[in-house]
Structure 1
Amino acid sequence: MEKDDLKDRVEEPASAYGHYTYADYLTWQMDEMVELIKGKVFKQAAAPRRIHQDVSGKIFNMLYNFLERQPCKIYAAPFDVRLPVKSKKHEDIDTVVQPDICVVCDPDKLDELGCIGAPDLVVEILSPGNNKKELQNKYEVYEESGVKEYWVIHPNECTLLIYTLVNEKYIASRLFTIGDIVKSNAVAGFELDLTEVFENLQH
């Protein structure tokens, strides 16, 4: 699929143009980052804003330093996470996402293409225009695929909401903000001081 062809298919119902898979995804020649959610193509409209990058960088560094001598691995976008349902064959996978940050503790889920299967922790940072994708579309596939913990960060409002998987359903935390220290259940022992994350941000 060429760039101009794909442009017309972004964020359209999969039934309108067919149902896309990871096999299709691998053939696309795209300059910008795209994700595939249940056969539907989503394109990132523009590069993340600076505040997004500041928050992402701080959290990545804190997690990276914490995990440096542990078996879990941390990755930042662009990094393909394939979430199979029926099988791990390229033509059967119709969801490929690129979380802002993810932690994978099972080495069998990692290959040369990225991650296949649910990461233990996913961190998504909201940007203008992507709230629906993160809060609805990705919420559903992360819950269904078994992501143990899903963090949603709103950098402009300096808030963090944690969804924890309990009996295959997400349970939401209270809304955390500056002054809170949050603990991860998926990454045992990791604590995040939100004052450090959100201080000195230029909105």
Structure 2
Amino acid sequence: MNLELKKQIERIKKQPNAFIILNALQNLYEEEQKERMYFYETVSENDKAEFINGKIIIHSPVMYRHSNVVSNLSFFINTFIVSRNLQAIVAVEKLMIRLTRNDYEPDICFFGKEKAKDFKADQLLFPAPDFVVEVLSKSTEKTDRTIKFNDYQSHGVKEYWIVDPENEFVEQYVLENEMYELKEKTSSGQINSFVISGFEIPVKAFFDKQLNNETMRHFYLLLEKLL
């Protein structure tokens, strides 16, 4: 139980109507679980869907610049972990993580060896990743910066990148003492992952086609060394 949750519980305990609050929360929980089961039963592999605070959210198609950033960055990460034989897993957009209350399909998520070794081929729901990247769009930015930010933090996601493809910058948050600390907010230079040791990439390679191609060649060379 993290510090913020303990504070919330203490605030409720001090209320004279604490048991009324708890009863209302229990009723809310039961109703949400019914809706969550309906979500599991009806969502298909073709849907980009999430279950957030009791509501089923169906996402609209993304812009090309959003898709391009996700595709490029996932390639860089995946190529790096293969070249280093990290035995980790990188998933893009369609893998659903199940947290205490909510279910998300992050743009990119990374599971280190310790978590990845227990995954099954037919598994549909996954635990909190070690590292998550969300690429902003107008319809998701508020959720990415608030609900998901707090949820990833409270469930121990060690590193969280928020990438803004329109304004071309990245924010890097790292979990320290159960709270996210902003380590970088930049549109230039190199960014180094805290979770994926040794992984670094020029921020401009997320967005600039020429630098992206140069970075691609660098990562292809990493793969060629394995052959």
RMSD of equivalent CA atoms: 2.2
Q: After the TM superposition, which of the residue ranges 101-110 and 62-71 deviates more from structure 2?
A: 101-110
When normalised by structure 2's length, the TM-score is 0.71
Larger radius of gyration: 2
Deviant stretches of 4+, over 6 Å: none
Task: Quote the Cα distance in structure 1 between the aligned partners of 2:91 and 2:64.
Answer: 19
Task: Quote the Cα distance in structure 1 between the aligned partners of 2:161 and 2:37.
Answer: 29
Task: Quote the Cα distance in structure 2 between the aligned partners of 1:109 and 1:36.
Answer: 24
Q: After the TM superposition, which of the residue ranges 187-196 and 101-110 deviates more from structure 2?
A: 101-110
> Relative CO higher for 1 or 2, CA cutoff 8 Å, sep ≥ 6?
1
Q: Which residue of 1 aligns with 2:48?
A: 33
> 1:114: how far off?
4.1
Q: 1:192 aligns with which of 178, 183, 201?
A: 201
Q: Read off the aligned partner of 1:34 and give its amino acid letter.
A: A
Task: Quote the Cα distance in structure 2 between the aligned partners of 1:147 and 1:187.
Answer: 13
Change (3 A) 1:101 1:32: same
SS at match of 2:181: strand
When normalised by structure 1's length, the TM-score is 0.79
Task: Quote the Cα distance in structure 2 between the aligned partners of 1:37 and 1:144.
Answer: 15
Aligned pairs, how many? 176
Contact 1:120/1:187 (<8 A) preserved: no
Contact 2:43/2:49 (<8 A) preserved: no
SS at match of 1:170: strand
Q: Which has the higher helix share?
A: 2
Q: Which residue of 2 aligns with 1:75?
A: 91
Task: Quote the Cα distance in structure 2 between the aligned partners of 1:99 and 1:145.
Answer: 14
After superposition, residues 9-158 of structure 1 pair within 5 angstroms as 18-20=31-33, 22-29=36-43, 32-44=47-59, 46-68=60-82, 69-83=85-99, 85=100, 94-105=101-112, 106-108=115-117, 110-111=119-120, 112-158=122-168
Change (3 A) 1:200 1:141: same
